[in-house]
Structure formats: C-alpha cells, structure tokens
Amino acid sequence: MNFAYAQNTAKCEIIDKKSIYSFSGIGYEGEGIRKKNIFSELSIESTNTEGIFLKDNEIIMGKEGTYRIILSSVIKDNKTRDKYAVNINSKEAFELNPQDMLPTGVFFFQMYLKKGASLGFTMIKNNGKISSSVESNYLKVLFTDPKLIAYSEHH
C-alpha cells in the first residue's frame, strides 16, 4: 500500500493551523448510501506548490511524504453524524467514524502518501439517505514533518 494512517482522538487540536492547499466544493455525486464528496476549487496558500492538483474530485499528491488532512462538510439540519471513507488511488483505504470527529465537526488525520497518489472521500450515510442540503465540502492538505506537529489536550 502507498500510505500509513494515524487518527487523532477528539481531544487533540492542531496548534499549527497554517494551510498550504485548500479544496472546496458543494454536494456529492453517485448513487446509494455511498456518495463521493465533490471538490471543485483549489486554493494554494504558498508559493511552493509541489505539483499538487485536483482531478475528477481527487487530490493528486505532487510530493512523497507525510500529509496532514483536515476534512469537513457543512450539512443543514444534520441530526446524525455520518462517516467518511478515505480513498487512496480510487480504492477505499479506511473509514473515519463519527466518534473520531472533533467537537467542531471536523475530521483530522495524518497519512504518508507517495508522489502521484490520489486522495478522495466518500460520505457513507448512517440511515441510508444522504441529505441534498449540503452547503459545502472543505478539505485542507498540508505537507508536513511529523516531528514538528504539536498537540494540545483539552479535557
């Protein structure tokens, strides 16, 4: 496999919030209880882009290394917290469960990815129906050195 995964608990918070790549979009595509998050816009907050780009709702990594990933979707009147599947090279690698979500409604994790690997996300609806009232999908991707990441524990 091309990746290593580390999920953080809801108690952890990122202290270094400087974003390099931001992706946004509205809604989902596909049929059934699993629908792919739509990402249609890329914003780069750095002059060093390393060739990362957006293609067919997937983020193509321009450099091998560890990435910090922050994912959220804003859904109107969402009473249940849904889970997401993380797709590497168009294959499901693992799921992010609602209990792993930060209190702010954000999933955050780290992965090691090879250059050219693609990263995508699928929403999995718990009650079998995905809301059509999605306001936005948002994703931040930061290339990082894992030794430099600091966490703050809140109890």
What percentage of the chain exceeds 70 in pLDDT?
A: 66
**Interacting residues of 79 by C-beta distance below 8 A, sequence separation 6+:** none
Closest CA to 99 of 75, 121, 118, 80: 80
Closest CA to 50 of 117, 108, 147: 117
3-state class (DSSP) for residue 139 = strand
Record the tokens describing residue 10, joined without a space.
């809801």
pLDDT at 86: 93
Q: Is the pTM of this model over 0.85?
A: no
* Across 142-149, average pLDDT: 64
Categorize the per-residue pLDDT at 1 as very low, low, confident or very high, splitting at 50, 70 and 90.
very low
Is it the case that residue 29 has pLDDT exceeding 50? yes
DSSP of 30-94, one letter per residue? SSTTEEEEP--EEEE-SS--TT-EEETTEEEPSS-EEEEEEEEEEETT--S--EEEEEETTEEEE
Residues pairing with 111 in the sheet = 5, 67
Q: What length is written for the chain?
A: 155
pLDDT at 80: 54
